[in-house]
């Protein structure tokens, strides 16, 4: 698979995306569009709007366009009835906690005030939940939040800021609790498969995780605009499987024809996200775990371009 093929897969809208785009009623502003997921989401939005035959624009806002920490820059952004808020900071938080908190909360407050009343999908994370028993099937939207570490705490603070604006200004909102998107150039499967391919040990102490094809995550994000409401609605977004790190490693070993070295023993708990509500409302993901593993293995073996940004899903102490 070439990178062009990958980009097409991630950005090709389905019929449901196109139907949602036909109901936008105006432009879509994507705040923080320059991150790992933002560019493919923006392109999928553009393609969905074009296929729907409407004239709305997608307005991506990156650091090069506006500093979302600057109130004047945020106030000068164009109006839009639809907003996707993706700005945030995770890695490098340890030792720079003040910057992480400012990035995840100050920017949220500025954006929420600027676009008060607009339908808003706010990117969040399953890290707002505690570690749960593996056999539980994962935290649901009704599980009491208990974030571990300052990154996760600041992510919850971002949610609370948006909940305030949803209540105070009647801003229809979805809190989009995502983990972990797979893009081939980064993701949990690359982290595991890359170690197998290089002959490195795979630590299974944090033995289970959730993954979702980034194209499916993009689609859910677009269609979540239809689910925005007040008070703000939380929505867990990931694949249906409680995926075993050990089993994934051995599957990569089979594909590569290489031995697999395992270290550690699985803990009884993990950071797991139950996305059954999302699947009930928006349908099951189109790309399953086995297919993701197969194309990830091909990407690794053929030397596909990597972003060099490990997920650090193995972390259990919340220090990123």
Q: Which two tokens stand for residue 175?
A: 């809190």
* Helix segments in the chain, DSSP class H: 3-11, 15-21, 38-52, 71-75, 97-101, 107-114, 150-169, 188-198, 214-224, 245-256, 276-282, 289-301
Residue 300 in any domain: the answer is no
Q: In what helix (H) or strand (E) does residue 31 lie, and over which residues does it extend?
A: strand 28-31
3-state secondary structure 55-66: CCCEEEECCCCC
> What are the helix and strand counts (H, E) for the chain?
12, 14
**Structural domains counted in the chain:** 1
pLDDT tens per residue, the chain (320 residues)? 899 999 999 999 999 999 999 999 999 999 999 988 999 999 999 999 999 999 999 999 999 899 999 999 999 999 999 999 999 887 666 788 999 999 999 999 999 999 999 999 999 999 999 999 999 999 999 999 999 999 999 999 999 999 999 999 999 999 999 999 999 999 999 999 999 999 999 999 999 999 999 999 999 999 999 999 999 999 999 999 999 999 999 999 999 999 999 999 999 999 999 999 999 999 999 999 999 999 999 999 999 999 998 888 988 887 87
* Helix segments in 146-211, DSSP class H: 150-169, 188-198
- Residue 93's pLDDT is what? 62
Residue 320 in any domain: the answer is no
Residues 290/244, Cβ–Cβ less than 8 Å: no
* Residue 133: CATH number of its domain: 3.40.50.720
Residues 263/202, Cβ–Cβ less than 8 Å: yes
Average pLDDT over the chain reads: 96
Residue 318 in any domain: the answer is no
Residue 297 in any domain: the answer is no
Q: Residue 194's CB: how many other CB atoms inside 10 A?
A: 17
Enter the DSSP assignment of 136: G
Residue 41 in any domain: the answer is yes
**CA 11 to CA 30: how far, in whole Å?**
15
81, burial (CB in 10 Å: exposed 0-12, middle 13-18, buried 19+): middle
Residue 9 in any domain: the answer is yes
Q: Which residue has the tokens 């593993």?
A: 293
- Domain carrying residue 107: 3-181+213-238+272-285
Predicted confidence (pLDDT) per residue in 217-232, tens digit? 999 999 999 999 999 9
Residue 186 in any domain: the answer is no
**Cis amide bond preceding 244, omega within 30:** no
Predicted confidence (pLDDT) per residue in 168-226, tens digit? 999 999 999 999 999 999 999 999 999 999 999 999 999 999 999 999 999 999 999 99
- Residue 92's pLDDT is what? 67
Residue 265 in any domain: the answer is no
């Amino acid at each position: 698979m070439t990178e062009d093929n990958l980009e097409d897969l991630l950005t090709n809208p389905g019929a449901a995306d196109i139907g949602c785009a036909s109901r936008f009623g105006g432009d879509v502003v994507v705040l923080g569009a320059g991150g790992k997921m933002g560019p493919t989401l923006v392109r999928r939005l553009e393609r969905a709007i074009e296929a729907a035959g409407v004239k709305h624009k997608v307005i991506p806002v990156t650091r090069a366009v506006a500093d979302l920490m600057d109130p004047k820059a945020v106030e000068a952004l164009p109006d839009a009835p639809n907003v996707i808020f993706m700005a945030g900071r995770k890695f490098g938080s340890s030792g720079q906690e003040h910057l992480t908190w400012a990035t995840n909360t100050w920017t949220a407050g500025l954006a929420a005030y600027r676009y008060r009343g607009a339908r808003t999908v706010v990117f969040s994370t399953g890290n707002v939940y505690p570690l749960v028993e593996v056999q539980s099937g994962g935290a649901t939207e009704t599980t009491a939040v208990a974030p571990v570490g300052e990154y996760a705490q600041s992510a919850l603070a971002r949610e609370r800021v948006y909940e305030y604006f949803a209540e105070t200004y009647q801003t229809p909102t979805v809190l989009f609790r995502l983990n972990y998107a797979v893009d081939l150039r980064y993701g949990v499967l690359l982290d595991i498969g890359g170690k197998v391919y290089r002959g490195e040990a795979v630590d299974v102490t944090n033995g289970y995780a959730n993954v979702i094809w980034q194209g499916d995550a993009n689609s859910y994000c677009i269609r979540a605009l239809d689910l925005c409401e007040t008070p703000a609605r939380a929505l867990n977004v990931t694949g249906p499987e409680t995926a075993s790190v050990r089993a994934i490693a051995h599957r990569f070993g089979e594909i590569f024809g290489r031995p697999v070295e395992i270290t550690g023993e699985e803990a009884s708990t993990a950071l797991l996200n139950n996305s059954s509500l999302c699947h009930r409302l928006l349908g099951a993901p189109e790309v399953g775990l086995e297919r993701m593993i197969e194309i990830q293995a091909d990407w690794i073996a053929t030397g596909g371009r990597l972003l060099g940004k490990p997920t650090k899903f193995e972390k259990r102490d919340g220090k990123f």
